[in-house]
Copies of this chain bind each other. A is one copy, B any other.
Amino acid sequence: MSCAEHRAYHHGDLRQTLLEAAVRHIRAEGTEGLSLRALAREAGVSPTAPYRHFENRQALLAALATEGFRELDEVIGAAVVAGADPVTQVFLVGVSYVEYARTHPVKYHMMFGDLIGDFSPFAELREAAEGSYRKMERVLEAGLAAGLLKPCPLAELGGNTWAMVHGIAGLVIAAQRRSEAFPGEILDTIRPMQAQHRVLEAPERAVARLMLGLVADPDAARALERRAGLT
């Protein structure tokens, strides 16, 4: 039985296959019915094979969250490189954050939901989470140093900004997931337009509007309003 069937004894890349299957499964049927056995079945492997790669169910979810934080870190980094003025950079980081959440809702939920009760057993996850946060913080620091943002302890400003983008992200995801749950017109104001050219139009406005509370410089504020189409 070495070559007749293309199933080798060893799968080859089971770990990644399981993670991808998990995302697909959660997207399709929610997080409730997710079972390692089902993932194993989908990967064409014995029911307990996943335990060679993940100590338990939580560990698999933690791996998903870790991937998410690393991807978010990259996305934030990509938004910053442009070298624009700090207020614009903060804006772009916020928009990118929301866009990442919108396009990876499953991982985003692992990162910030409460399925992973405790991060402490997962060192890689803790590091990835802290890393992505620090990257956002550095952008805020520049804005503070340039006097464009209202004076405020960096940690507090970081918390406020994070809360802002996290809240918008949560609603964008909710808008996609259960349009039935809340009044339609509210979600419409925040749901990304489906037309290709204006994806994320409303989330951009949300980020800009709430960011305005943090901006000190009137010119920067006006520029932000113009860029986001608020005026």
Contacts and interface: CB of A to CB of B under 8 A. Distances in A.
A33 B68 CA distance: 24
Contacts of A155: 183, 185-186, 188-189
Interface in A75-114: 109, 112-114
A6 B31 CA distance: 40
B32 A130 contact: no
A133 B212 CA distance: 24
Given A30-B114, A167-B164, A119 B159 contact: no
B178 A159 contact: no
A206 interface: yes
A2 to B, nearest CB: 41
A178 B134 CA distance: 18
A133 to B, nearest CB: 6
